[in-house]
Amino acid sequence: MKKEINVEPLFEFHSHSNWVNTASRQFKPYKFTPTICLDKNDNVCHIGEDFSLAKSFKTFPITVYRIIRFADIITKEYGN
């Protein structure tokens, strides 16, 4: 089943080695931000196994998105 969610792109991993070498640094500013990682086929990549499969199946790049919460939308539209 497919679902739609509100997201905003943050950054991208172009390859498995790019993910291995930069993930902790790239995610650091977003430590308390809800995120989701999607490969080019919109598969969720959450743990190392997923990123390894993305490498095997050539589904990089993987884009990291900020998940926009309902509260974020309401605050933006109506203020605090």
User: Whole-number mean pLDDT of the chain?
Assistant: 96
- Within a domain: 61: yes
- Within a domain: 22: yes
Q: Provide the number of structural domains found in the chain.
A: 1
Q: pLDDT tens across 34-73, in order? A: 999 999 999 999 999 999 999 999 999 999 999 999 999 8
The domain in which residue 12 lies consists of 7-78
Sheet hosting strand 35-38, strand order edge to edge: 7-13, 62-67, 35-38
What band does 2 get if pLDDT is binned at 50, 70 and 90? Answer: confident
- Three-class DSSP category at 52: helix
Task: Give the pTM.
Answer: 0.91
Asked if 59 and 4 touch (Cβ cutoff 8 Å), the reply is no
